[in-house]
Every structure is written in C-alpha cells, then in structure tokens.
Structure 1
Amino acid sequence: MKRRTAREKAFQALFQTITEDIDTDEAIQHVVEDPEVDPFLHDLVHGVMDYRDDLDQWIADHLDNWTFPRLPKVEKTVLRMAAYEMKHNEDVPTQVAINEAVELAKIFGEEDSGKFVNGVLSKMI
C-alpha cells in the first residue's frame, strides 16, 4: 500500500474513533479490505492514539484564535496525524508530513481546511 493511501485509511479509522467511540483495531478493519494491515497505517493510527494527549497539547499551543476542543473533527484528526509524524516518525520528513496533511484536509475538509492545517503546522516546525 502506498503511504498516501495508508494515510487516507488511517484518517478514516481515526475519524471513526472520534465520531463513533470505536476500538482502534476495529476501526482499522472497517477501512481496509485485506486482513493484513499495512505497517505504516497501523503505526500511524496506534501512534496517534497512544500519544493523543501530548499531540493535542502541542497542537493547542500553536493555535491562534481557536481552542483545541472547538476544532472541527476533520482538522483535529489531520493535525493529530501530522503532529505524530513530525514528532515521532523519523522516516517522514517534516515537510512531507505537512504536505500530506494539507492534501488530506483538502480531500476530507471544507474549502479552507488545507490553508488552516498548513498554517497551524507551519507554526509547529
């Protein structure tokens, strides 16, 4: 599985954990067809969940005119994923994590979601 596809699937699984209060592994199984889960996807989903409080605080520290709880679920999920990659995945360059997050925000979010995500993540580097 390509990393972009893995990120999209990871986004979908993480979004389910927010909206449906579903178990992480069950959410992953809902978004993948193959019983063999891609290691990058697995690491991304479980890493975000394991470090969620730390990531949320790091993101909140870089928000202007927003509080973390007020963020829309799409932006919250994308920012968590990017923050995890930036902070805990040495295989992914920071700029790649940001670019991929912006693309996810454009796909799953509102018209200005990509710009918002880019602005927040740019403050975090």
Structure 2
Amino acid sequence: MNRHATRENALKILFQLDINDKHPEEAIEEQFESLEVDTYLKSLVEGVANYKNTIDEKIAEHMEKWSIDRIASVEKTILRIAVFEISYREDIPVNVAINEAVELANSYGDEKSGKFVNGVLSKIIA
C-alpha cells in the first residue's frame, strides 16, 4: 500500500475512533480483517490516538476565531494526521505532510476544506 492510500485508510479508522470508543488496534483489525496491516498505517493510527490531546492543543493554538470543537470531524482528523507527521515523524518532509493533508481534505471534505487545512497547517509550521 502506498503512503497516500495508507493516509486515506488512517483517516477512515481515526474518524471511526473519534465517533466510537475503541482501542486503535481493535479499529485497525476491524477495518482490515483479512489484510496484513501496513506498519505505517499502524504508526499513524496509534500515534494520532496516543498524542491526540497534544495534537489538538497544537491545532487549537494556531486557529483564529475557531475552537477545535467547531471543526468538522473530517478536517479535524486530517489535521491530526498531518500534525502527527510534522511533529513526530522525522522521515516525512513537512511539505509532503501538508500536501497530503490538503489532498485528503479536497477529496473527503467540502469545497473549502483544502484551503482551511492548508491555512491551519501553514500557521503551525510558521
């Protein structure tokens, strides 16, 4: 599985975790019952789940006139993945994390999601 597809799958799993009270490993297993789980997928899901509060604080610090609770779940999950990659994954270039997040936002969010995600992430890295 390529990294883009891995991020898409992480988005789906983390979105479910945001709604349901499950352990990350359980959510991964449910999503991929018959497939071998990619180590990067496991890293993303478990990393975002483990650092969720710290990641949310970082996002909230860089938002103007918004609270993290007002962000739609899709955009919030995409931001969490990108902030995790930027903050905790040295093997992912910052511009790659941002570009991937914007792509996911354009695919899974509404017409303004990509610009919103790009704006928040740009403030975080500034």
TM-score greater than 0.5 by the shorter chain: yes
Deviation at 1:33, TM superposition (A): 5.3
- The answer as to whether partners of 1:9 and 1:32 remain within 8 angstroms in 2 is no
Query: 1:34, CA displacement in angstroms?
Result: 4.0
Give TM-score scaled by structure 2 length. Answer: 0.94
Unaligned runs of 5+ in 1: none
Matched, 1:16 2:16: yes
Matches within 5 A, 1:1-125: 1-32=1-32, 34-125=34-125
Q: TM-score, normalised by structure 1?
A: 0.95
1:13 aligned counterpart, secondary structure? helix
Q: Give the distance between the partners of 2:30 and 2:6, measured in 1 at CA.
A: 13
CA contact (8 A) 1:48 1:81 kept: yes
Aligned length: 125
Identify unmatched segments of 5+ residues in structure 2.
none
Deviation at 1:69, TM superposition (A): 1.1
SS in 1 for 2:26: helix
One-letter amino acid of the structure 1 residue matched with residue 121 of structure 2: L
Task: Supply the AA of the counterpart residue of 1:118.
Answer: N
Q: CA RMSD for the aligned pairs?
A: 1.1
The whole-number CA distance in structure 1 between the counterparts of 2:33 and 2:7 is 15
1:32-90 deviation per Cα after TM superposition (whole angstroms, max 9, x unaligned): 35442101100000000111111000000000110011111011100000000000000
- Distance in 1, matches of 2:57 and 2:106, equals 24
